[in-house]
Amino acid sequence: MARLLSDDQVRLLRLRAQQLASQPDRPAIGVAQVVKHLCGVQAQDATAAALALRARRAGLVAADVERALVQERSIVRTWCMRGTLHFISAEDLSWLLALLGPVFIRSSQGRRAQLGLDENTANRAVRALRDVLGKHGPLTRAEIVEQLAARGIRLAGQARPHLLGLAALQGVICFGPNRGREPTYVLLADWVDLGPALPAEQARAELAYRYLSAYAPAAPKDFAAWSGLSLTEARGAWQYISSQLTEVEIEGSLAWLLKTQATWLKRATPPRPIVRLLPSFDTLLLGYRSRDMVLAAKYAKRIFPGGGLLRPALLVNGRVTGTWKVNRHRDSIEVIVEPFEDLTADVRQGLEAEVEDLAHFQSVEAILKVMPR
């Protein structure tokens, strides 16, 4: 019989899986290891993605993320889960692209055609892009558009990011080093050494296992929503690893943990609140089909106002209890928090520690300002 979990238990388990709970017995890990554990970090906003890593690894500084991206190249920024931009471990890139790339290439084929990138034109453009970057890369998007135009391939409007996304999902390109504030693109094969791909069934099973490592307890519908795979494929992957799972019940529905995570149920509740400042588009809020467990419906619009936005969130014991933003000055930042409810003394203490760590990450002084409810 499946063990019934309370909402508080579910939230605490997910905090631990997400590396958001302080775990004194866990050795400190670096940027690439956090990204690998999470099997990717949403990175349509690269600055927010770096802050998502900070929330999961106290003591990081922004230069650590830049080093992992550019010098070590142990993580790569490219399109992956859900066809969106992510930081991905370089070790995982080959099998993830082989599994997910064809899914999103097919799903966006119609939109590309509307933008003038029918299959023949798109293939010709990707070949030209490969040649251009091989000879002249890294290049910015504007430079790529100019180089392709010189070869008779003219891209306008949304055709530009769609072509870059297609080439990335095919494993041809990825993001390279920034040039000032402008990102550049490089040939993936020139940037990192890719390992072998996996057979499709094995790759789906590996992805399901890795998803549960970072998001459990969860169900196949959550895995499908997070990955972009079909529900049928998600259920098949669940079945493939069923011997490694343990079943629980959440609000009348079944969910699963890895058997290796079951011991977490015996751990005591932390004596102090777990307080985290999550950035825009944080992976925790994108990892499940429903956000009801973490975000009360009455506050949902304050975090998801529409238009594809996902605002920064104050997280307390796995629940979103406010929003926050940063006002930047020349050598300092002001962290402005708008709580949904009154902050207890323990929560205020945890928030102050988060702001101190955020200041350390950005190598600036920081002032906390909590707005009245």
Q: Which domains does the chain have, with CATH numbers?
A: 3-18+198-266 (1.10.10), 31-191 (no CATH), 275-370 (no CATH)
Backbone angles phi, psi at 141, to 5 degrees: -60, -45
- Please say if the pLDDT value at position 190 is more than 80: yes
* Confidence at residue 268, expressed as pLDDT on a 0 to 100 scale: 72
* Confidence at residue 345, expressed as pLDDT on a 0 to 100 scale: 96
The number of angstroms, rounded, from the C-alpha of 362 to the middle of its chain's C-alpha atoms is: 20
Q: How many residues does the chain have?
A: 373
Q: What is the mean pLDDT of residues 100-121?
A: 96
- Please say if the pLDDT value at position 248 is more than 80: yes
* Confidence at residue 200, expressed as pLDDT on a 0 to 100 scale: 95
Give tens-digit pLDDT for 282-314. 999 999 999 999 999 999 999 999 998 999 999
- Please say if the pLDDT value at position 50 is more than 70: yes
Cβ atoms within 10 Å of 10's Cβ, excluding its own: 20
Structure tokens given for 188: 């993936």
- Please say if the pLDDT value at position 23 is more than 70: no
Sign of CA dihedral 157, 163, 169, 175: negative
